[in-house]
Structure formats: structure tokens, C-alpha cells
Amino acid sequence: MQRIYLISTGGTIEKVYSEQSGVVENRAAKLERYLRMLRLPDAEIRAEHLMNKDSLEMTDADRVEVRDRVAGLLAEGAPIVISHGTDTMVETGRFLEESFHDLKVPIVLTGAMTPLGFEGSDGLQNLTESLLAARLLAPGVYIVMHGQVFPVSRARKDKDNATFVWA
Ligand code: GLU
């Protein structure tokens, strides 16, 4: 069994439509519901919900919280996937890269341009790709989106095309 840790922090991938406010917002975790749709016979996914934020609202303290949780898991020696809003995914990834100099496992950040469950969502694709990439990649911090793998220092969000490109 390959264990993989999955930490969710919010972002578009987990957004829901609010019938009250009429906007799409981060209110509740929904990643685990989608995880159950995947066939992963030799993987043990340990999912945990750390926060539920649009990444534009993430503070330095939030990033320290993410770093501290990652630090607590690194001793387990298993890959870590972090679901995160795409707008500041690179910023958090770089912070993690600066924080951990001798990684023994890959840390993969992923998210979505359209929420899980919405028509045309890229969320399940990105989640699936990230779980596979986390098993294959060398130690380091990466962004995995849309069939692409970027070392975090080489990635940038391309807002016009709603994807990530090489920086
Ligand atoms: N601004 C939001 C965020 O970064 C939406 C972008 C996204 O997740 O794709 O969380």
C-alpha cells in the first residue's frame, strides 16, 4: 500500500454555489466525496481538511499553518498532495520550498479552475493526476495541473488561458 497524504485548504476546487448569496464560495470540504469515486486499490489516501479559503484571502499565518502541518507529516515519509486555490498556489509552494531544504518526498500542489461537480470541472482530473504524480516524482515541490508537472519555481498561472505555464 502506498500511503499519500492529502491536505485540503480550499480554493475553487472545493467551492460550492450558495443559493442564499448567489455566489460561488468556500464553505465546506467536498474533496473526500470525490476521492471515493477513484479506484486506487494499492493506495491509502489520508485526507485531511486544514482550512477552507479562497487563496487570495490566505494570510502569512495561514501559510505558516500549511507549512507546520506539512512539517508534521514529513516524518511519515509519504508523498503529500495539497489542494489549493490557483491564484496564490505558486506563493504557497515557494514558501514550502524555502522552508524545507532536505525533502525526502514530493509535495504536490493542485487545484482547479472550475469547482468539483460543476460542468466542465477540471478538479477530478487534477486530483487524479496529482495522486499519481505524487507516487512518481522525486522529492521536491511541484504544481500538477492539466496533465503538466512544474517544479514550483518554474510555474506561473496563465489567467487568460485558465491554466499554468512555464515561468
Ligand atoms: N481566487 C481563488 C483562489 O485562488 C480562485 C482561483 C482558483 O482557485 O482557481 O482560491
Average pLDDT, the chain: 97
What's the confidence (pLDDT) of residue 27? 87
Q: Over the stretch 131-154, which tens digit does the pLDDT of each residue have?
A: 999 999 999 999 999 999 999 999
Q: Is 42 exposed, middle or buried (0-12, 13-18, 19+ CB in 10 A)?
A: exposed
Distance CA 57, CA 75 (A): 29
Distance 27 CA to ligand 1 centre (A): 14
CB 36 within 8 A of CB 77: no
Distance CA 69, CA 78 (A): 14
DSSP labels for 10-75? ESGGG-EE-TTT-SEE--S--HHHHHTTS--TTEEEEEEEEEEE-GGG--HHHHHHHHHHHHHHHT
For 6, other C-beta atoms within 10 Å of its C-beta total: 23
Nearest Cα residue to atom 3 of ligand 1 = 85
> Which of 24-28, 88-92, 111-115 is least confident?
24-28
Residue 60, CA distances (Å) to 31, 63, 67 in order: 24, 5, 10
Distance CA 83, CA 130 (A): 9
What's the confidence (pLDDT) of residue 82? 98
Mean pLDDT to the nearest integer, 33-56: 97
Which of 9, 55, 126, 157 to mutate for ligand 1's pocket (most ligand atoms within 8 Å of CB)? Answer: 55
Query: pTM of the entire structure?
Result: 0.97
Distance CA 87, CA 100 (A): 22
Distance 5 CA to ligand 1 centre (A): 22
Domains, the chain, in order of start with CATH, read 2-166 (3.40.50.1170)
